[in-house]
Amino acid sequence: MTDAILVVNAGSSSLKFALYPETSNPTAALLRGKIAGIGSRCVFSARDGEGRALSPSEGMSVDAGAALDDLIPTLLEWLKNHRGGVNILAAGHRVVHGGRHHTGPARVTEALLDELTTLEPLAPLHQVHNVKAIRAVAAALPGLPQVACFDTSFHRTQDRLAQLFALPRALTDAGIIRYGFHGLSYDYIASTLPHHLGARADGRVIVAHLGNGASMCAMQARRSVATSMGFTALDGLMMGQRCGTIDPGVLLHLLDCLGMTTQEVGHLLYETSGLLGVSGISNDMAILQSSPAVEAREAIELFCYRAAGELAMLAAAIKGLDTIVFTAGIGEHSALVRRLICQQLEWMGVALDTDANERDAVRISSAASSVDVLVIPTDEEIVMAGATHRLTTGVHAPFPSHGASHP
């Protein structure tokens, strides 16, 4: 029987999970898996600690039409019997929104769940599923200690100015501020910086988390100083299906002159804009890169042009730049995107080693570059596993091992 910490990332159509050894300082997962296609056609996949796919006979059988509420008890039952048995000691959940007061992860209580439910309108695509997953685990394993790990909390170190919109004070007081997201990813990258940069880790760093959702975070002393996402995960960079920063007058025009409903505008902003909208082909960067269509190329170029502009704006918040870190699916794997963004930043002293960039090497800046450019794979799950261990055992060992993390 293996003692383990379960980590859960529940989204609108997928449920990602991982098991970690019960230690304050896990370095690798025992098991990682995903149920994709929830709500349409569920597909289960999982890999063991060595990255080997489980054989079909070892996998979990899922009802194709199952909803999140049904999948969680089935998953927990399957985990309990996995390879000699797993004893789940605690569960950590990714929760997109922690509001303005949570500066770190929090133990789940009924009061916390009520508070997180009130934040659902602020993250309509994610929060409801995050809360539902916590409740489903609580129902299946009553009394299991659970921890909520927030995507917003890493940014609560920002100065007030970086969190303000230029709106009337009453709206600021009512919570309409820039929260920022992708905090678990930034927390992980911040924890790895001393390993890669030594003393420069505490300098001026911009992390570009470029996945299907994309944002950037400017850090100093490995703490968030400013970030590109704001009140919601719609702001900032162009993304797979989201347009990012847009003149708010466009939204008024769509509503008032083109007669769109708020639901239609919401769908446009969250689902049909960004790479998908501009290319008319796909939200997937890898597909666009292999397409000969001029629209695909234009979408990639706009993505990079906008990313370079956002990065320059964030550099102003930290008054210069020592290091750029690329991470997440596009940041880790697209040499083309990294090259186009860095070319746009040559005036800042950024110079790429093109061979290293093509190889997805860790350090992709040339010796002549005055800015270090790194590629570091992110690991949001390991941050959640460490936080869950800390909050359920009270053991405050440095985590992960390669550097102290955000408290």
Question: Annotated catalytic sites, by residue?
Answer: 151
Q: At residue 67, what is the residue type? A: A
What CA–CA distance (Å, rounded) separates 376 from 362?
6
Is 285 near ligand ADP (CB under 6 A)?
yes
Contact 23, 107 (CB under 8 A): no
Chain centroid to Cα 237, Å, comes to 14
Q: Is 94 annotated as a binding residue?
A: yes
Q: What is the nearest approach in angstroms of ligand ADP to the Cβ of residue 306?
A: 15
Q: Say how far apart CA 367 and CA 372 lie, in whole Å.
A: 9
Instruction: Report the relative pairing of strands 2-10 and 86-95 from DSSP bridges.
Output: parallel
The answer to the question of whether 213 is labelled as a binding residue is yes
Q: Which residue is nearest to ligand ADP (CB)?
A: 329
Cis peptide before 377 (omega within 30 of 0): no
- Among 284, 301, 353, 358, the residue binding ligand ADP under the rule CB under 6 A is 284
How far is it, in rounded angstroms, from Cα 212 to Cα 330?
A: 8
CB of 365 to ligand ADP, least distance (A): 20
130 carries a ligand binding annotation: no
Q: Determine if residue 380 is labeled as part of a ligand binding site.
A: yes
Instruction: Give whole-number Cα distances, 6 to 19, 115, 295, 357, in Å.
Output: 5, 23, 43, 35
Q: Tokens in use for 67? A: 């909803």
Please identify, using beta-carbon distances, which residue of 22 and 151 lies nearer to ligand ADP: 151
- Sequence-distant (≥ 6) Cβ neighbours of residue 350 within 8 angstroms: 324, 342, 365, 369, 370, 371, 373
Answer yes or no whether residue 203 interacts with ligand ADP by CB under 6 A: no
* Size of the residue set binding ligand ADP (CB under 6 A): 13
249 is in an annotated binding site: no
- Single out the segment in contact with ligand ADP by CB under 6 A; choices: 222-230, 282-290, 297-305, 340-348: 282-290
**Pattern 207-246, ligand ADP, x by CB under 6 A:** ----xxx--------------------------x------
Residue 286 in contact with ligand ADP, rule: CB under 6 A: yes
* Residue 9 annotated in ligand binding: yes
> Quick one: which of 23, 272, 289, 291 contacts ligand ADP (CB under 6 A)?
289
Helices 248-256 and 262-271: angle between axes, nearest 10 degrees: 140
Q: Is the CB of 98 or the CB of 240 nearer to ligand ADP?
A: 240
CB of 359: closest distance to ligand ADP in angstroms?
Answer: 12
**Strands 106-107, 43-48: pairing kind:** unpaired
Ordered DSSP codes for 284-297: -HHHHHT---HHHH
Measured from the CB atom, is 16 or 200 closer to ligand ADP?
16
Which among 52-60, 82-90, 254-262, 283-291 is the span making contact with ligand ADP, rule CB under 6 A? 283-291
Measured CA to CA in angstroms, residue 214 lies from 268, 302, 395, 399 at distances of: 17, 14, 33, 25
User: Are 147 and 381 contacting, i.e. CB atoms less than 8 angstroms apart?
Assistant: no
The side-by-side arrangement of strands in the sheet containing 43-48 is: 43-48, 31-36, 15-21, 2-10, 86-95, 146-150, 106-107
Kindly state the smallest distance separating residue 107's Cβ from ligand ADP, in Å: 26
Taking the mean position of all CA atoms in its chain, how far away is CA 153? 12
Q: Which is nearer to ligand ADP, 89 or 125 (CB)?
A: 125
**Residue 203 vs 240, nearer CB to ligand ADP:** 240
Within residues 26-65, the interface with ligand ADP by CB under 6 A covers: none
Of residues 295-334, those binding ligand ADP (CB under 6 A): 328-330, 333-334
Nearer to ligand ADP, 208 or 315 (CB): 208
Of 291, 127, 358, give the one whose Cα is nearest residue 299. 291
Query: What is the nearest approach in angstroms of ligand ADP to the Cβ of residue 212?
Result: 4
Ligand-binding site membership of 16 (annotated): yes
Sheet holding 372-375, edge to edge: 223-227, 214-220, 204-210, 323-327, 372-375
Binders in 83-112 for ligand ADP, by CB under 6 A:
none
> Which one of the spans 59-67, 225-233, 279-287, 366-374 is the region binding ligand ADP (CB under 6 A)?
279-287
Residues in the annotated binding site: 9, 16, 94, 209-213, 329-333, 380
Residues in the annotated binding site for Mg(2+): 9, 380
- Which residues here bind ligand ADP, judged by CB under 6 A? 211-213, 240, 284-286, 289, 328-330, 333-334
